[in-house]
Amino acid sequence: MYANDGFRELDRQECVRLLGTVPVGRIVHTRQALPAVLPVNFCLDGDSAILLRTSATSELVGAIDGAVVAFEADAVDAAAHSGWSVVVTGTATLITDPAEHTRLLSAGPRSWVPAPREVFVRIDPELVTGRELVGGHTLYGVDLGS
């Protein structure tokens, strides 16, 4: 973040707490050498790893397994001019261990678009950053109420 941009930087603990309050985020990966962004439902696992559940035959699985990806989630109140955004960067890995897969069937995220054969993908957080804008407050002295 840039100094004096009007946002408050969030520490890792705040970021993880906020991620646990929303069900949908966006995964950012590379598709045909271009950036791609896909909304997905998710949940947190253990120490803040992001878990996704998707079809085993989805294009997404092939594109992200073993790749470094970004994951973003946020909440915005347009009327109050406030909100937050958290970005997790890390390596995405397809869960292949049968015992882990069985555990995640009950503890992992529920798919919003169920498929006959589903898999889980874990994003291990290597970098976690976030920022918050509290409505009506800016470091520039600008009145956001007008």
Greater confidence (39 vs 5) lies with 39
End-to-end CA distance of the chain: 25
Non-local CB neighbours of 88 within 8 Å, separated by 6+ positions = 15, 19, 48, 50, 70, 71, 72, 123, 125, 127, 128
Phi/psi for 103 (5° steps) reads -60, -45
| Across 16-25, 54-63, 71-80, 128-137, least confident range | 128-137
Spatial contact of 52 and 38, defined as CB atoms under 8 Å apart: no
Given pLDDT bands bounded at 50, 70 and 90, which one contains residue 1? very low
Averaged pLDDT of the chain:
88
Q: What is the pLDDT of residue 74?
A: 97
Greater confidence (2 vs 79) lies with 79
Buried residues in 73-100 as b, exposed as e (16+ CB within 10 A): bbeeeeeeebbbbbbbbbebbbbeeeee
Question: Rounded to an integer, what distance in angstroms lies between the CA atom of residue 100 and that of residue 59?
Answer: 22
> Tens of pLDDT along 56-97?
998 999 999 999 999 999 999 988 888 999 999 999 999 999
Q: What is the pLDDT of residue 7?
A: 81
Spatial contact of 125 and 67, defined as CB atoms under 8 Å apart: no
Residue 13 has pLDDT above 70, yes or no: yes
